Amino acid sequence: MSAYITAAAMTKFGRFPERTAAELGKEAVLALMQAAGLAAKDIDAVYVGRSFAGSMDGQVCVPGQVALRGTGINDVPVLNFENACASAASALHCAVNAVLAGQHDTIIVLGMDKLYSTSRDESMTALFGALDVHAEHWMLEKRRETGSWGSIFMDNYYAKIARDYLKESGARPTDLAHVSVKNRRHAAANDFAQYQKPITEEQVLASPLVAEPLRQLMCSPLTDGAAAMLVRSDRASKADAARVRVASVAIRSGMPTRGDAEHVISRTARQAFEAAGVGPEDIDVAELHDASAVAELLASELVGLCKRGDGPALLRDGATAVGGRLPINPSGGLLSRGHPGAATGAAQLVELVWQLQGRAGRRQVEGARVGIAHSAGGRVGDETACTAISVLQAGT
């Protein structure tokens, strides 16, 4: 028995201060229903991922139920999931299990969120909630002392990772810039991406310094958006020639104190590959959580797409660009498509579905049959609070 994704849809990602997450979610659901050719009565349940928007637009509870108003979908189970940026992948995990258990035949998985505000302080305060707010209270105190969040997050997380990575791998700041350039080139072919205008390495390296060595164009923007998928049972999807099998969804929480243990991304990837019955060598296309440019390079190694330290070489060889042997983030990634929290993981999965269905247009990865998505949500102690890795297969 298997679970399949038969249709996928998303909104344009961008800055929409006048719109709520629920409004964006409703748009994605209606687009999905049209793409799937289904009516409201055909839906058995709706599983919704959302994280930061409660702080941003005030809809703290029942966000999924609010998003469904006006869609005709009602009187069905609506489950809301919060796992920071891995919320939608967490919703998919549970939707797949519900289908495999025979509980439902047709489930909508929706990821919707907001991270942009005209007040940067509001956005950064919402992001702060993805940490252990008591253990990291010193950040809040520093913000109160200085009157600004500044680079507190990046300096103490991705910038530190970047400094360590450059030292250990031999990568150069130009490699980080190259990731941004590559992903923006991909986004130029993605009408749903927030930023589509090509950039150069010189522009990336000349952009404002956020926290050494990360420049502004090496960091994902604060974004709003929504994306949705239709998850169906074998029985319900049998007649759909374009269905994509969910081979596995692995979810792991990080260790507050990791010590010498294997990295949580590697632990989760190994579990996902074992459950799917494939290996890293079988992957044709990947969507990795590039909240900063260094995150893509590091994740490509930890997922197992290349050996440790070989991320920069894979990038320089052109392998990770569309047209290369292992395209990474053909959607433009978080760096260019944008990063609206819980909607990010849903957008990664939608991109893989379109790629495996051969519907990705100008950014289509030729012959794509197996794809992998990596989402990272929050942080508690030494590791990501929730790491989700999904493997999808075409035509099975």
CA-to-CA distance for 29 and 354, rounded, in angstroms? 16
Strand stretches in the chain, DSSP E:
3-10, 45-49, 78-81, 106-114, 209-211, 214-215, 224-233, 244-252, 285-287, 370-380, 383-394
Catalytic member of 104, 178, 263, 339? 339
Tokens of residue 313, six digits:
């070489």
> H or E segment at 279?
none
Q: What would you report as the CA-atom Rg of the chain, rounded to the nearest whole angstrom?
A: 19
Neighbours of 7 (CB within 10 A): 26
Task: Count CB atoms within 10 A of the CB of residue 369.
Answer: 17
Residue with tokens 């258990």: 101
- Does the annotation count 85 as an active-site position? yes
Neighbours of 61 (CB within 10 A): 8
* Catalytic choice (85, 219, 306, 386): 85
Distance, in Å, from the CA atom of 303 to the CA atom of 374, rounded to the nearest integer, reads 8
Identify whether 93 is a catalytic site residue.
Answer: no
Catalytically active residues, by annotation: 85, 339
